[in-house]
C-alpha cells in the first residue's frame, strides 16, 4: 500500500530523494542534472521583493547553472502565487550580480492534486493535464528566440490527456494512483525513479515518526479546509443579509448566494423581515 502523495510529509519524503528527484526532473523537463543538496521549506534572506515566501522543495545543480523548485498544492487558486515564485527565483539572482545577466536557468514544477476549479478570463474551464510557461521572446511571425530557457510547468493528473508523453505520464500516474488507488496501483516499475518513489512511500517503509507527521499534516489540511468553507459560508450569509435588507426577492437571493431557500428564509426570519 502506498502513502498518499497528497500529503506533504509523504510528498517531501519521495521527492527529496536524489534518485527520485533527478528522474522526475529528467522525465518532466528533459534535462539531466546533478544536485548536492535538496532543501525543503526554502526561504531567501534577505527577502525578495519584500515578500516572505517559502518553497516546498528546492535544489541547485552542482554546476550552479540550474535551479529547480517543486511545489505541491491541493488547491488551484494560487496560480498568481506560483507565477510570483517563478519570477522571484529569477529576480533572486540579481542580489549579488554586478550586471543584469541571469546565469542560472530557473525551473518551477507545480503538482496539483485536485481537479481545477478556476477558469480562463472568458469563463472557459481549464482542463489541461500539463501547462507550460516559457520565458523567451518571439518575433511577430512566432519564431522563438532562445535567450533564457526559464520554464514553469504545471501538472494535474486529474485531467488526463491522450497525447501526454509517456515519461510524464509515469509520474502523473504515480501521483494519482497513490491518492485514489494506493492498495493496487498500476504503475511503470521499469522507471527507476517511479520504482524508488514507490519503495519510499510504501506504507510499511514509513517510520512511526513519519506516520505521525503525516497524520498531523492531514489533520491540519482538514482543519484549514473547514475554516475556508466556514469563511465562504459566512460571506454568503453576509451577502444574503444585505440583499434581504433591500427587500430583494428570495429567489434572487438564493441564486446570488447559492444558499438553499430554507436557509435564506431562516436568515430573513432572524432579521425580522417578512416576505
- Say whether pLDDT at 214 is over 80: no
Find the helix packing angle between 8-15 and 18-29, rounded to 10°.
Answer: 90
Given the C-alpha cell 554546476, which residue does it identify? 63
Cell of 71: 511545489
In the numeric block, the cell 515519461 is attached to 167
The per-residue pLDDT for range 70-94, each reduced to its tens digit, is: 888 766 656 777 888 888 888 877 6
CB neighbour class for 267 (10 Å; exposed up to 12, middle 13-18, buried from 19):
buried
Residue 217: predicted pLDDT: 66
Q: Which of 60, 70, 137, 41 is nearest to 105 (CA)?
A: 60
Instruction: State the Rg of the chain over Cα.
Output: 23
Lowest mean pLDDT among 93-102, 118-127, 226-235: 93-102
Quote the pLDDT of residue 79: 76
What is the band of 42 on the pLDDT scale with cuts at 50, 70, 90?
Answer: confident
Give the per-residue pLDDT at 219: 65
Residues 6+ apart with CB under 8 A from 249: none
How much is the pLDDT for 8?
87
pLDDT, tens digit, for every residue of 157-173? 999 999 999 999 999 99
What 3-state class would DSSP assign to 101?
coil
- Which is more confident, 155 or 67? 155
Amino acid at each position: 500500500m502506498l502513502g498518499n502523495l497528497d500529503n506533504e510529509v509523504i510528498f517531501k519524503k519521495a521527492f527529496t530523494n536524489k534518485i527520485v528527484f533527478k528522474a522526475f526532473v529528467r522525465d518532466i523537463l528533459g534535462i539531466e542534472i546533478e544536485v548536492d543538496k535538496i532543501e525543503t521549506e526554502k526561504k531567501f534572506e534577505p527577502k525578495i521583493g519584500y515578500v516572505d515566501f517559502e518553497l516546498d522543495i528546492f535544489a541547485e545543480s552542482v554546476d550552479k547553472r540550474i535551479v529547480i523548485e517543486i511545489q505541491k498544492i491541493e488547491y488551484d487558486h494560487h496560480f498568481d502565487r506560483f507565477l510570483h515564485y517563478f519570477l522571484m527565483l529569477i529576480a533572486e539572482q540579481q542580489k549579488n550580480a554586478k550586471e543584469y545577466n541571469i546565469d542560472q536557468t530557473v525551473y518551477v514544477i507545480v503538482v496539483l492534486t485536485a481537479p481545477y476549479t478556476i477558469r480562463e478570463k472568458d469563463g472557459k474551464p481549464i482542463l489541461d493535464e500539463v501547462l507550460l510557461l516559457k520565458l523567451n521572446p518571439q518575433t511577430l511571425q512566432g519564431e522563438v528566440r532562445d535567450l533564457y530557457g526559464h520554464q514553469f510547468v504545471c501538472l494535474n493528473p486529474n485531467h488526463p490527456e491522450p497525447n501526454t508523453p509517456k515519461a510524464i505520464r509515469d509520474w502523473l500516474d504515480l501521483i494519482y494512483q497513490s491518492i485514489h488507488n494506493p492498495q493496487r496501483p498500476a504503475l511503470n516499475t521499469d522507471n527507476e525513479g517511479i520504482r524508488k518513489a514507490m519503495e519510499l512511500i510504501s506504507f510499511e517503509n514509513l517510520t512511526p515518526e513519519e506516520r505521525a507527521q503525516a497524520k498531523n499534516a492531514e489533520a491540519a489540511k482538514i482543519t484549514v479546509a473547514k475554516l475556508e468553507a466556514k469563511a465562504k459560508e459566512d460571506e454568503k450569509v453576509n451577502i444574503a443579509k444585505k440583499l434581504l435588507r433591500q427587500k430583494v426577492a428570495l429567489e434572487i437571493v438564493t441564486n446570488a448566494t447559492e444558499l438553499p431557500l430554507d436557509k435564506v428564509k431562516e436568515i430573513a426570519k432572524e432579521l425580522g423581515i417578512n416576505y
